[in-house]
A and B are shown apart, each in its own frame.
Chain A
Amino acid sequence: MKHESKLVLGAALAFALALAGCASQGGTTDTSTGSAPDGYLVKADADTPSEGKLHIQLDYDTAELAGLDPAGAELARGWQITALVYDTLVGIGPNFEIVPKLAESFEQVSDTEYVFTLRDAKFSNGRTVTTDDVIGSLQRLIDMQALWSTQLGQIESMEATGDNEVTITLAAPYTAFLSALANTPAAIMPIEEINAGLDPTTEMLGTGPFVAVDHRQDESWRFERNPEYWGGDTLGIDELEISIVNSDQTRLAGLRDGSVAFTNFANPDAMDLLGNAANVVALDQTQTNFFYVFMNSVNPESPLTDQKLRQAVNSALDRQQIVDLALAGLSTPSAVTPANLPGACSPDSMPMVGGDTSALEGQTLSVLIYNDDPALASIAQAVQQQLEAAGAAVNIETLDYATYSDRVYVQQPGDFELALGWFAGYADPSMVTGWWNPEQAFFNVGFTQSHADLNEAIATAATLPNGSERDEALQTVCELVDTYSEIVPLATQPMVLAYRDDIVSPSLFTDEGYGDFLRLITEFRVLSAEQ
């Protein structure tokens, strides 16, 4: 039933795309951003009154086993939703620099020591944030052994070194530490209330701009202004309503008829589809998330246990063509370090570029994809064409995500040959390079081997401070990954963000590391109440 439904929904979308394509003939495309500052796609009009209700739509809801607890959130949508209620010590600015947030200032006093000075902030229940909340939150995250616990690095000690000052000492230098602190799982939680019985998996109590007043799973969220928010007047919205709308077609319709102010599309074709819609601005925010292809080097039944064949597949892939054909030209070819992060490796400089593809002659390979992401099917078709041009026969197998997940991540060894998917790219290269070490990443032990030289290169790059030496170390990581050709990066993931310019004036960064395109929601301004 599900598969058929997906097929029919796919047919419906294709039909809608055809309709929209007809309509766009002769229209004009409005994707201009005006004169936005560096690092911004668009900057909200700060002169607009800071009030009003905003209705936006998102393509899917957060659904985590940890419920509403940000510390246990493992996926980007969970980070994004909980970030509306919770704050982190530091945040991410334009171009990925670290900016103050709940900490009004911070200082790295040595390779391993960081000092944070807290601002005078309160939780939405009126209680002032203390150093105990900071230390308790991070200790709680470490103790949970959640996904983000590993991203913090090795914390040796945390202590209050003043009324509003916390000093954190790492066991070893870890360049990505501040970037890791900037994501919502490292949010500062109300430890006193949690110790008194508050269950953060069902109840949200934070210092962020909003308080959650209603949530219906997979249907809607309603947030209201947090009267205790430390940002005070910078918050431009009184009430935020989020509808969860899975169908691209319906979100397109909502923008066209003005029933929604802002929404997102993982489907890059949305940019064209909205080309001639009145009062609609569509922009592409470059994510550090990137698409990749897994090649199963562990399962003895997989022909890709042969490194030469894996390298041939890697060499046959034309990343720029994948971007142009499958991603509407909206993304960028990427190596292991996401292309839009500072100091990223150039995919053109990888050893397998232009390499020997003769091992593909006469091979029959299958590519596994899942049906939730519209871009994957397009990428799979591009990959299929490229490998077939090199002499291989390629079958594409489309599964629902649960089945895909079972065959790729759960079964040991993984039950596949090639598989497509995407990773979150985060805000520092060392946060994602760890996924190439199966002893650290866990999820890939069923299809990738552990390589001592690669593991060492990953660890070295993680400890070096930003600069040319680290760039070289990351280049070594990229080249080793390319040589082993087990998890091969393809291109960054586009995210089309669209809004009604007669209803809302938003602020959006050009690049995003944690999938949080609502990162600047406090700057959004409501222009019209009619939605």
Chain B
Amino acid sequence: MQWVRWSVGRVLIGLLTILGITLVVFLISRAVPGDVATTLLGPFATEEQRAAVTERLGLDQPVYTQYWLWLVSMLQGDFGTSVASGMPVLDELALRLPVTALIAGMSLVLALVIGVPLGIAQALHVRKARGVTGRVLSGFAISFPEFALGSIIIFIFSTLQLGVSVGAFTSVTDNFWGGVASSIIPAAILSVFTIGATARTTRDAVLDVLVEPFIQASVARGDSPGSIVRHHILRNASIPVVTLTATLTAYLLGGAVIIEAMFNVPGLGSYLLTALDRRDYAVIQAGVTLAAIVFVAMSVLVELLSSLIDPRVSTVGGRR
């Protein structure tokens, strides 16, 4: 029962966090210089034309009124209309979310499938050549800038005609398999960082667990190395990895702007960036709110998962 109360509390805190983020995003978007009337009407618009647009978009009302109206509409499922396209923002996001989600998903799978075993191997062979090599490689992967790697890949593939087009991206919403093929290279580039980070985190977590008394006891009992890894190390080392996975998911969904721009991926990141340029408030607010919901949801999920993996997480003051 205490775990349920604790979980409900976490969810409520998450909802409050999202509400706070919507307020902050709203205020910041209104505080930055420039407005949508100026950017879309262009420099030659008269003051009267700008005023008319401002009034039509409701931007002449007090900020708290604007915020309240937006919040109420959003809770009713209406995230507003993009001024640039004239389309409902939710429809626009729905077109772009699958594109970003596919790339993020592919990158995350690569991170877990390659990064976790790599991290375990590094920890188990910490003083051996392969452990050191793995550590160097994962350090290199974390440090190598995505834009540099992306530039190299684009140059190589476009110049050497390797059979994969990097000059024209196909959206998964238009052509599923074409979209999957187009997503491979961007996902692979994004995964370089995520693999490195996952391997490094896994290695550190496993090293922490390896010095625990229950590992020594298991070794003393004569358990096989495979059994020790499966039954003792993986479970206890998984909390930091799960936490990192949640962070990486949020990063990949909202933060892969550079790769999206480089490969002309019509995803969430590039969409938000363009909206920010135009001060397309409805898009900015909806996009950031969506990202916040994903991030907060992932954080809450991680906390709940962590409490299931290690019940001590959900204890208060050290007692359940």
A: residues with CB less than 8 A from B are 1-2, 5, 8-9, 11-12, 15-16, 19-20, 23, 55, 57, 63-65, 67, 74-75, 145, 147, 201-202, 216-219, 243, 245-247, 249-257, 259-260, 372, 400-410, 441-443
Contacts and interface: CB of A to CB of B under 8 A. Distances in A.
B46 interface: yes
How big is chain B's contact interface, by range?
A: 35 or more
A253 B147 contact: no
Nearest to A277: B159
A15 B278 contact: no
Find the residue from A64, A147, A249, A401 having the highest chain B CB count within 10 A.
A249
Contacts of A250: 154, 166-167, 262-264
Contacts of B33: 402-403, 406-407
Contacts of A16: 151, 154-155
Given A5-B258, A406-B34, A243 B264 contact: yes
Interface in B113-170: 145, 147-148, 150-152, 154-155, 157-159, 161, 165-168
Given A19-B155, A55-B168, A250-B166, A202 B34 contact: no
Contacts of B49: 145
A410 B262 contact: no
Given A15-B147, A250-B167, A405-B39, A257 B258 contact: no
Contact of A406 (B35, B262, B277): B35
Q: Sort A-B residue pairs by CB-CB distance and give the 7 closest, nearest first.
A: A254-B167, A402-B34, A217-B85, A12-B147, A253-B158, A259-B168, A253-B167
B40 interface: yes
A124 B51 CA distance: 36
Contact of B158 (A74, A218, A219, A252): A252
Given A201-B86, A441-B44, 20 more contacts: A5-B257, A5-B273, A11-B147, A12-B150, A15-B151, A16-B155, A19-B155, A65-B41, A67-B86, A74-B44, A217-B87, A219-B266, A247-B261, A253-B166, A401-B34, A402-B35, A402-B38, A405-B34, A408-B43, A409-B38
B209 interface: no
Contact of B157 (A19, A253, A402): A253
Contact of A218 (B43, B274, B279): B274
A260 B266 contact: no
A401 B41 CA distance: 13
B277 to A, nearest CB: 6
Nearest to B171: A219
Contacts of A406: 33-35, 38
Nearest to A445: B47
7 contacts: A5-B257, A57-B167, A257-B166, A402-B35, A402-B39, A405-B38, A443-B43
Given A2-B273, A257-B165, A12 B155 contact: no
A441 B44 CA distance: 7
B261 A246 contact: yes
Contacts of A67: 86
A243 B258 CA distance: 19
Contact of B95 (A5, A64, A216, A443): A216
A408 B277 CA distance: 16
B147 A410 contact: no
B232 interface: no
A226 to B, nearest CB: 23
A217 B82 contact: yes
Interface string B273-302: 110111100000000000000000000000
| Residue in A147, A250, A405, A407 with the greatest tally of chain B CB atoms within 10 Å | A250
Contacts of A218: 84-85, 266, 271, 274
B50 interface: yes
Contact of B44 (A216, A251, A442): A442
Contacts of B85: 63, 217-218
B38 A9 contact: no
Given A23-B155, A75-B42, A409-B43, A8 B147 contact: yes
A67 to B, nearest CB: 6
